[in-house]
């Protein structure tokens, strides 16, 4: 599903942001990625989306060899990866329904299937009653749930979350993590970058710890080895 072989990323000459990363994530896994600020977590996500190219090493996502993927095939790679950010990134001038439907229109989904899919996603995140609301009328937790619905509406096989609870209080953070867990149980591979150690400890998922561009630990059931 996701394979990195000896991947290094240097932005400028000097210390690499990622330094010889070997990583294998199977289909259907739930993985936390933790580590100090600057340890390379965002860089990893950008490489998986091919927003950046590795300086050396090999990356495969869903059997696509990213080093060689053509511009033309980039949309097909990105359609298969949903992304959720710390700051939600909803369209402020569109309501909840349209924020989610927009993601399907962009990939030219037939209009007859859009409505059903959008409503199914809203139901999954518990926001059916808010479909007409605008982002600024929603709490942070609700906005993040809309962002998750949007990320999943095209049925990607992988969901990447970059600090999805970074702007949320503990209660909303737990709500988001429960939804991510449920999404994973339905078959989506979920990778979550987070600083929320209480949640990482409690959820007992595979946890990868990064430091200075390297993976310093990779454990099966939660646990981490760094202090911010
Ligand atoms: P994290 O997400 O764990 O905070 P990043 O992947 O953002 O880490 O950063 C890893 C390292 O790469 C840091 O030293 C950071 O300063 C550096 N870095 C990140 N993005 C850039 C960039 N666009 N140009 C130069 N250096 C960068
Ligand atoms: P995060 O909060 O996800 O760890 P950062 O705060 O590290 O992200 O980085 C925010 C943005 O700034 C990213 O797009 C990253 O690529 C860029 N960036 C980070 N470090 C540097 C750097 N040293 N030089 C240039 N851009 C950087």
| Strands laid side by side in the 81-85 sheet | 81-85, 158-162, 189-193, 30-35, 206-211, 214-219
Distance 113 CA to ligand 1 centre (A): 40
The string of DSSP letters for 26-73 reads -TT-EEEEEE-TTSSHHHHHHHHTTSS--SEEEEEETTEEGGG--GGG
Distance 66 CA to ligand 1 centre (A): 20
Pocket test for ligand 1, best of 17, 210, 224 (most atoms within 8 A of CB): 17
Separation of alpha carbons 37 and 6, rounded Å:
22
- Of the ligands numbered here, which is closest to the C-alpha atom of 45? 1
Instruction: Please name the residue that has the structure tokens 């809203």.
Output: 122
Assembly ipTM: 0.73
158 in Cβ contact with 81 (< 8 Å): yes
Residue nearest to atom 21 of ligand 2 (CA): 38
Separation of alpha carbons 166 and 196, rounded Å:
8
Reported as a single tens digit per residue, the pLDDT across 168-207 is: 999 999 999 999 999 999 999 999 999 999 999 999 999 9
Reported as a single tens digit per residue, the pLDDT across 128-159 is: 999 999 999 999 999 999 999 999 999 999 99
Domain 1-80+156-228 superfamily per CATH: P-loop containing nucleotide triphosphate hydrolases (3.40.50.300)
Secondary structure of residue 193 in the 3-state scheme? strand
Q: Give mean pLDDT, residues 106-115.
A: 90
pLDDT band at residue 222 using 50, 70 and 90 as cut-offs: confident
pLDDT of residue 99: 97
Q: Using a 6 Å CB cutoff, which residues line ligand 2?
A: 37, 42, 162
Phi, psi of 67 (to 5 degrees): -55, -30
Binding site membership of 40 for ligand 1 (Cβ less than 6 Å):
yes
Ramachandran quadrant class, 171 (left: phi over 0; alpha: psi -120 to 50; beta: rest): alpha
The pTM of this model reads 0.89
Pocket test for ligand 1, best of 40, 45, 192, 210 (most atoms within 8 A of CB): 40
**What secondary structure letter does DSSP report for 107?**
T
Distance 16 CA to ligand 2 centre (A): 14
**Domain range list for the chain:** 1-80+156-228, 91-154
């Amino acid at each position: 599903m996701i394979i990195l072989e000896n991947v290094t990323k240097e932005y400028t000459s000097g210390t690499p942001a990622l330094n010889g990363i070997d990583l294998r994530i199977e289909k259907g896994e739930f993985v936390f990625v933790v580590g100090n600020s600057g340890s390379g977590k965002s860089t990893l996500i950008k490489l998986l989306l091919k927003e950046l190219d590795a300086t050396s090493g090999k990356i495969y996502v869903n059997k696509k060899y990213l080093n060689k993927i053509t511009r033309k095939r980039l949309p097909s790679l990105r359609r298969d990866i949903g992304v959720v950010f710390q700051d939600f990134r909803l369209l402020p001038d569109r309501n909840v329904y349209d924020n989610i439907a927009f993601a399907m229109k962009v990939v030219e989904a037939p209009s007859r299937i859009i409505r059903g899919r959008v409503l199914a996603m809203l139901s999954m995140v518990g926001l059916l009653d808010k479909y007409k609301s605008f982002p600024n009328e929603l709490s942070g937790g609700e906005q993040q749930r809309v962002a998750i619905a949007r990320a999943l509406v095209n049925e990607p096989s992988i969901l990447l979350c970059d600090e999805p609870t970074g702007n949320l209080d503990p209660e909303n953070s737990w709500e988001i993590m429960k939804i991510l867990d449920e999404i994973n149980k339905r078959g989506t591979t979920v990778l979550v970058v987070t600083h929320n150690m209480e949640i990482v400890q409690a959820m007992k998922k595979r946890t990868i710890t990064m430091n200075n561009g390297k993976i310093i630990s990779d454990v099966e059931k939660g646990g981490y080895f760094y202090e911010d």
